[in-house]
Amino acid sequence: GSIVEFIAGLPKAELHVHLEGTLEAELKFRLAARNAVDLPYADVDAMRASYVYHDLPSFLAIFYEGSFVLHREEDFRDLVYAYLEKVAGQNVVYAEMFFDPQQHTDRGIPFSVMIEGLTRGRIEAERDFGIRSQLIMCFVRERSAESAMAVFEMALPYKHLIVGLGLDSDEKDNPPEKFAEIFRRGREEGFRLTMHCDVDQKNTHEHIRQAIEEIGVERIDHGANLLDRPELIAMAGERGLFFTVCPYANEMMRPGERQSIARGMLDRGLRLTLNLDDPAYMEGKYINENMLMVHELAGFEREDLLTVTRNAFDAAWIDEDLRRELH
């Protein structure tokens, strides 16, 4: 069969997707109507045409504006359900999904509304499509450590519904160590830990070192600039860290990059996984399209795609029985 058929047929796991970044324009219009939110776009094409950005801050501005249509429990349910339905159709059998509570609590949405809607969407998608999933709560890193601690406390009554903690949004001048106390408490409470170290950020190598040595993450989301430093590569190798790389996001942020990040990690034996990031804002590319892109641009062959798929199941925060059942 063709490579397209091979990719489509692989049972897959995803570990790096921002739920707010899966909000496709059609659903955004439906939720805006439901909640009487005025959108400054005539139709979905005009909305999609407005998704123009060139770096992390310009992307984030568009991404945050999009989430303003999310208000009710059913909106959060519909968001998760639509994403899981879509990816189940690409033979994804397991997904870990980021959500950013501060985006919503700052707008007056109760934590309970958000988490109950997200959880209902997960349960209904498993019932209807067989897909398993878990939630990772991310802190918005340009906000204060106090704000992150406040949302951490709100999450504690729901910690059985949240598998891990992450850190995302604007990295510049917001290093991992700013959140050291929260991640220390998070570990004590039993959360698994990951963090974004986005591409080409200020002090990127120091951020990667802090995430590994001071925070003790099990994964790094992106982490591309580690490839510049042999000592960081060695550290990641020794600790068996996993990397969640997002090919299409890299292509959007650094056009012409030709997937040298994915290729570089694979060639150095790092435990690379392939993921989506924010598909609704990245031309609707889901996992099959991301895999095809590294095949076409970086020469990932079938055995390489099997390796990254195995890595994703190995990196998943699930017990060994479920791991064997899924993979």
- The response to whether 18 counts as a known ligand-binding position is yes
Q: How far apart are the first and last CA of the chain?
A: 22
CB of 19: closest distance to ligand HPA in angstroms?
Answer: 10
User: What residue type is assigned to position 70 of the chain?
Assistant: L
- The response to whether 198 counts as a known ligand-binding position is no
Please, which residues have CB within 8 angstroms of residue 291's CB and are 6 or more apart in sequence? 7, 10, 274, 300, 305
By the rule CB under 6 A, 96 interacts with ligand HPA: no
- The response to whether 55 counts as a known ligand-binding position is no
Compute the distance between CA of residue 96 and CA of residue 133 in angstroms, rounded to an integer: 6
CB of 56: closest distance to ligand HPA in angstroms?
Answer: 6
CB of 303: closest distance to ligand HPA in angstroms?
Answer: 28
CB of 154: closest distance to ligand HPA in angstroms?
Answer: 20
- Total of chain residues touching Zn ion, rule CB under 5 A: 1
Between the CA of residue 139 and those of 65, 103, 143, 301, what are the distances in Å? 17, 9, 8, 36
By the rule CB under 5 A, 171 interacts with Zn ion: no
DSSP 91: T
Task: Select from 277, 292, 293, 308 the one that contacts Zn ion (CB under 5 A).
Answer: 277
Task: Select from 14, 17, 18, 292 the one that contacts ligand HPA (CB under 6 A).
Answer: 18
Residues 235-264 that bind Zn ion (CB under 5 A): none
Instruction: Return the structure tokens found at 180.
Output: 């050291």
Contact present, 41 and 50 (Cβ < 8 Å) = yes
Closer CB to ligand HPA, residue 10 or residue 17?
17
Closer CB to ligand HPA, residue 79 or residue 249?
249
